[in-house]
Amino acid sequence: MAQYHADSRKIFLKEKKGLIALTLILIGVFFFLPVTQAFAYNKASAVVVLDADSGEVLYSENGDMPMEIASTTKVLTAITVIEHADIFMRAAIPAAAVGIEGSSIYLREGEKWRVLDLLYGLMLRSGNDAAVALAIITSGNLPAFVELMNKTAEKAGARNSRFTNPHGLHEEGHKCTATDLAKITAYALKCPIFAEIVKTKTHRAIKTVDDKEENVVFYNKNKLLYSYPYAIGVKTGYTKHSGRCLVSAAEKDGRKLVCVTLNVYDTYGVSKSMFDKYFGASVSDHAEIS
C-alpha cells in the first residue's frame, strides 16, 4: 500500500511539472511575440523611422508594403487643403459632409466654419465629416480633391501608394506604405501652418449657425503629445481593417524624426522606443507631462 501511494505521488508530481512547463511555454508565446505583432485585416505590421530633414530612412520593417492606414490619411488631406484653399475664408458646410460614419465633429448642413478651424477639427478630433467638407470646399467634389491628394503625395516623394478618399475609411484601392506616409508627413511638417495645427493640444473655434455664433473646443486625441516631451504631432488612426496606426513626429536638439506605425497594438510605446533609440535617450527617463 505504501508503494502504491509513493508511485501515485510520483505520477502526480510528474503531471504537475508537465502542466507547469506547458503553462510557461504558453505565457512565453503570448508575452514574447514581436512587439509589432497585431491582428487586423492588414495581415502584417509596419514601422518606419525617417529623418524629417534629410529624408533618410533610419529604420524600416515592412516599410514598402502597401497597407490600410485609416485616419493617418488626413495628414495628406490637411496639407492638400492648406496648399490649395484659402484657409481663412468662411464656408458653408455642404449636405454631403453631414453624417459621415466614424469619428466626427458633428457638422450640420449650412453652418459656416473657417477653413482653418475645420482643419483643426480634422487633425485634433479626426473628423471624417470635416475631411469631406474640406475636400468639397477645396475642389468642388470628392473625385477632384482625391486627384489633388495623389498629386500632392507624388510631390512629397510617395511612389507606392494610392488614395481614394480624404478620411481613410475602408475603400478598395486606398493604401499607402509606411515609408510613403513618413515622406508625406515630413513634407507636410515643412509647412508652418500644418506644423502648428498638429502640435496643438486644445483649439477654440467659432462656427456660425443661423447667423448666431457658437463656440467649439477641440481637444487633441494624440496621447503622445501628453506623454512624450519631444512630441510635435501628428495623427492617430484606427479601423478594423487597418488596426492601430500612428504617424508621429518628435524633435530634440534640432533633430526632427517621423515615426510611422501601422497595425501595431502598442503604437505609442513602439513610437516612443523608436524615437528614444534614434535620439539616444531612455523612455524610462521621461515623466508624464501635461
CATH number of residue 155's parent domain: 3.40.710.10
Question: Which CA distances in Å does 11 have to 6, 17, 74, 124?
Answer: 9, 10, 62, 62
**Residue 261 is assigned to a structural domain of this protein:** yes
**Residue 78: domain span:** 33-285
**Residue 9 is assigned to a structural domain of this protein:** yes
Q: Are 159 and 184 in contact (CB under 8 A)?
A: no
Say whether both 60 and 160 belong to one domain: yes
pLDDT at residue 41 in the model: 56
Which are the catalytic amino acids? 71, 74, 126
Say whether both 23 and 141 belong to one domain: no
Q: Which three cell numbers stand for residue 253?
A: 536638439
Say whether both 186 and 112 belong to one domain: yes
Say whether both 13 and 155 belong to one domain: no
**Residue 196 is assigned to a structural domain of this protein:** yes
List the one residue out of 117, 49, 105 whose CA is nearest residue 259.
49
pTM of the model: 0.84
With a cut of 50, list the residues of the chain below it in pLDDT. 1-2, 4-6, 8, 11-13, 19-40, 282-290
pLDDT at residue 82 in the model: 98
Say whether both 221 and 151 belong to one domain: yes
**Residue 290 is assigned to a structural domain of this protein:** no
pLDDT at residue 281 in the model: 62
Q: Which residues pair with 213 in a beta bridge?
A: 208
Say whether both 59 and 171 belong to one domain: yes
Say whether both 17 and 111 belong to one domain: no
Say whether both 152 and 98 belong to one domain: yes
pLDDT at residue 99 in the model: 96
Say whether both 15 and 138 belong to one domain: no
Say whether both 17 and 58 belong to one domain: no
Say whether both 122 and 148 belong to one domain: yes
Cα first-last separation, the chain:
70
**Residue 122 is assigned to a structural domain of this protein:** yes
Q: Are 42 and 243 in contact (CB under 8 A)?
A: yes
Strands in 27-175 per DSSP E: 46-51, 57-61, 90-92, 112-114
pLDDT at residue 11 in the model: 46
Say whether both 55 and 93 belong to one domain: yes
3-state secondary structure 136-168: HHHHCCHHHHHHHHHHHHHHCCCCCCECCCCCC
pLDDT at residue 42 in the model: 64
- Number of domains comprising the chain: 2
